[in-house]
Amino acid sequence: MADDYRRQGFELERRIFELDIKCSSLRAEKQDDDYLQNASAILDKLKSFYRQGGESSNLSKLLQDYTQVILDITFYEENKLVDQEFPEDCSPFKIQQLLQDLTEPEVLAGRLAPAQEVQSVLGLELLECLYWRRGALLYMYCHTLHQRKQWIKKNKDTFLKCIQEGVRYLMRMLQVRNSVKLNDGVVLHDTATAGFLSEGKNVITLNNKNCCTDPHLIILTVSLCFRPGIFSDTHLLTMMYIGEMCFWAVKYEDCSADTMDRKEDRLQFRDIGTQILNKYVLACEGPLQGQGWNTENAKEILSILQ
């Protein structure tokens, strides 16, 4: 047991000091960036902990702090890509690196605390945020690519794969607090997808304590509850993102040809988009009416998908 703890501590310590080097390099570009400053402050605390011997049994807290550093650093890097409008020459590599970085906390938690569920180690909010950030990154990338018609003509398979990966991440984000089923008659080869969508009773709560509070997630004081979990405004935005990405996929997907590696692994974008956007409209025009949510784009997409 003691050897396992020392091994765990060494691996996490090595990652933390590697991140510190990276953070210092990025801060040389923009010293006053709030997210890099926050990451640096957390890293200083973690480095001090290890330099003082690193004797602690609270692996979960260490991994949560480590995850927050990852979120802060990658947020800065993502903003650079967005500001540069995703340059064609370097964006694919940088996006894959960001996705890998945002996946690492989940992988590390599973490896260093195998007896516990990842969501118990990292907490629901951080796990949601990791999925949200990966899905939102791919949404923003696909949104930019969607404007590059000539690029899509030459790289349609790549575009569709980015959409599929983004939709999967966003659905996993919604699944963290909720177990949702598909409507009858809709068949998905992907069981993770099938386990996500479901009917739910819409309820409004003014109690915000169960909502995501991470600064990387957008928060409203009013939350939308879908039995049995809690949906914040970030979850609603996620639903709209999924609907848009499904629309793009349907628009460019060549149904007469197997444009992806394995046809059976392809998401049923039309069905997913239709169900998600119907729920979005129902929520926005029902319990969230008057809260500033616009349904015009969702309805326009639904008129095409249905």
User: What percentage of the chain has pLDDT greater than the value 90?
Assistant: 58
- Name the residue with tokens 């919604």: 174
Euclidean distance between CA atoms 254 and 207, whole angstroms: 46
Q: What digits encode the pLDDT tens for the residues 197-231?
A: 444 333 322 223 333 444 444 332 233 333 323 35
Q: Is the pTM of this model over 0.85?
A: no
Share of residues in the chain with pLDDT > 70 (%):
74
Q: Give mean pLDDT, residues 18-35.
A: 95
Query: What are the CB-based long-range contacts (under 8 Å, 24+) for 291-296?
Result: 291/220, 291/222, 293/236
pLDDT for 55: 61
pLDDT greater than 70 at residue 5:
no
Phi-psi region of 249 (alpha: psi -120 to 50; beta: other; left: phi over 0): alpha
At residue 54 the predicted structure's pLDDT band, cuts being 50, 70 and 90, is low
Residues in the chain: 306
pLDDT at 214: 42
pLDDT at 4 over 60: no
For residues 151 and 88, the answer to whether their CB atoms sit within 8 Å is: yes
The pair of three-digit structure tokens given for residue 41, joined into one six-digit string: 């402050």
Q: What is the mean pLDDT of the chain?
A: 80
pLDDT digits (tens, 9 = 90+) for 109-124: 999 889 899 999 999 9
pLDDT tens for each residue of 248-271: 999 988 643 554 555 556 789 999
Integer CA distances (angstroms), 149 to 70, 102, 159, 223, in order: 34, 29, 11, 38
DSSP letter assigned to residue 288: T
Confidence of residue 177 (pLDDT cuts 50, 70, 90): confident
Write the DSSP symbol of residue 182. P
